[in-house]
Amino acid sequence: MEVLMLWLFPWIFQCVSVRADSIIHIGAIFEGNAAKDDEVFKQAVSDLNLNDDILQSEKITYSIKLIEANNPFHAVQEGELL
């Protein structure tokens, strides 16, 4: 039993180290005339990445798509690509 535990011990540490550096990718879709929303979104993600109390070892990355206003079908199409 002790030999088995010693054999598994390095594997457990390896799993923890892999999970400790997680990257969370999120996507956002904004209408082309919503430049201010785009900037607020970027700032919010940046603030989250800098706050170690919220994200100890994770990092958030993002993709932003701008679409034409009042075209919900375009939003759905872009959402499938994110």
Bigger pLDDT: 35 vs 60: 60
The pLDDT value recorded for residue 60 is 93
Task: Work out the average pLDDT over 62-77.
Answer: 83
Confidence class for position 29, pLDDT limits 50, 70, 90: confident
- pLDDT beyond 50 at 57: yes
Alpha carbon distance 49, 57 (integer Å): 9
Structural domain of 53: 1-79
Structural domains in the chain (count): 1
Percent of the chain with pLDDT over 70: 72
Q: Residue 55 in contact with residue 20, Cβ under 8 Å? A: no
Rounded CA separation 41/74 (Å): 20
